[in-house]
Amino acid sequence: MARHERCFDKGQPVDTRMARGHMSYHAGMAAEQIVARAYIAAGYRLVAERWRGRRGEIDLIFSTAIGIVMVEVKTSKFFASAAAHLTPAQVKRLCATADEYLATLSDGSLTDVRFDVALVDQTGAVEFLENAFAGYV
């Protein structure tokens, strides 16, 4: 049987892995909100959160006067480790998902689009990598 801890709110035995997953999920949601607020404060208009296509999910999608900005949010204890969580396979999946999203727009693949990566550390500080996928596509 797996190691168990007591869940503080209900006193029930909980698998440690499941508890970590639950915490990671909520940390990721909080990080997305921090990032969304920063983009909105900079004048971007939020058009979608956690947009899901057949190939994957895009965390945040914004509209600007010059086009669409898609943002992948990565969280970890430090910025460097957050950046390391983004793998080439994931970049490929995100690009394929972006193609799916663009197909829903009137200008389709002719829409100006930029992919940013937002790194969030354990303190909630954010580092933005604009046009982060330029070398991949």
Neighbours of 5 (CB within 10 A): 12
Neighbours of 105 (CB within 10 A): 15
Domains identified in the chain and CATH numbers: 12-129 (3.40.1350.10)
- The mean pLDDT of the chain is 85
HSE-up of 26 (CA within 13 Å, CB side)? Answer: 5
pLDDT per residue over 43-53, tens digit each? 999 999 999 99
State how far the Cα of 104 lies from the Cα of 113, in Å rounded to an integer.
Answer: 14
On the question of pLDDT at 120 being above 70, the answer is: yes
Let me know the angle formed at the C-alpha of 80 by 15 and 88, rounded to the nearest 5 degrees: 85
Q: Residue 67: beta bridge partners?
A: 64
Q: Look up the pTM and report it.
A: 0.80
pLDDT per residue over 64-88, tens digit each? 998 999 999 999 898 999 899 889 9
- The mean pLDDT of 24-30, rounded to a whole number, is 70
Band of pLDDT at residue 134, cut at 50, 70 and 90 = confident
